[in-house]
Amino acid sequence: MISSLLAMAGFALVGAITPGPVNVLALRHGSQARRRVALLFVLGASASYTALVGGMGLGARLAAALVPGLAPVAQWLCAAYLLWLAWRIAGAPVGAVEARAHAAARPWRAFAQGAAVQALNPKAWLVALSGVGLFVLPYGAAQGSALAWFCAVSLAACLLGVGCWAVAGRALARWLGTDARQRLFHRGLALLLVASVAAMLA
């Protein structure tokens, strides 16, 4: 069981910490929002991913029958939403990062955004489905406990993985002291988000 848990942890951490739409947005929240706002984004994304893993595990047989037909449509809808987010980030206002964050950021909105973006993230769906196939379905009668362990490990890995990106964004906050650097940063994040969507569609 220990070796299985270590394999689960490795799989979940790789899935959570590799670049993707959620991590790009965590980087932005870390760099431009108060710590509490960034933390709530991370918590929202992590809770959403854990719910996704649980849902995938509970409905694995049904999903196996439904997902092949729905996958292309869902993937393009999710991609369209993420590209819209990239466009919004590229044109985000610049100047007085801390003042803007205090005036505009609504902490629970960050939680909701983290949850929504993770739920619409094709990478999260693919990683969750792959993980369920690897670490839950092979356990037969013990699938319930295997799913519970995989959900717990996924939650911890997501908190760590997405949290690392938010901390990296926090480290960049001082560098983002000028409008020109903020504009460059926004455009770079938008391009990174577009690249991650392109990679998922390829």
pLDDT digits 0-9 by tens, 120-154:
888 788 778 778 877 887 776 777 888 899 999 99
Q: What pLDDT is attached to residue 60?
A: 66
Express each pLDDT in 80-110 by its tens digit. 776 777 787 788 776 644 434 443 446 788 8
pLDDT band per the 50, 70, 90 thresholds, residue 112: very high
- Give the count of beta carbons closer than 10 Å to the beta carbon of residue 65: 9
Q: What angle do CA 19, 83, 31 make, to 5 degrees?
A: 50
| Cβ atoms 167, 41 nearer than 8 A | no
Q: 42-51, 62-71, 171-180: lowest mean pLDDT where?
A: 62-71
pLDDT above 70 covers a percentage of the chain that reads 77
pLDDT band per the 50, 70, 90 thresholds, residue 196: low
3-state secondary structure at position 96: coil
CA-only gyration radius of the chain, Å:
18
Express each pLDDT in 34-60 by its tens digit. 888 889 999 999 999 999 999 988 876
Beta-carbon contacts of residue 115 (< 8 Å; ≥ 6 apart): 44, 45, 47, 48
Q: How far is CA 158 from the centre of its chain?
A: 8
More confidently predicted of 124 and 194 = 124
Question: In the chain, which ranges are continuous DSSP H helix?
Answer: 2-17, 21-32, 35-58, 60-90, 97-104, 107-119, 122-135, 143-172, 179-201
Global pTM reads 0.71
Question: For the chain, what is the mean pLDDT?
Answer: 78
Mean pLDDT value of segment 16-42:
84
CA distance 39 to 86: 21
Q: Is pLDDT at 79 greater than 90 in this prediction?
A: no
For residue 200, what are the CA distances in angstroms to 35, 49, 61, 97?
Answer: 30, 17, 24, 31
Mean pLDDT value of segment 167-195:
81
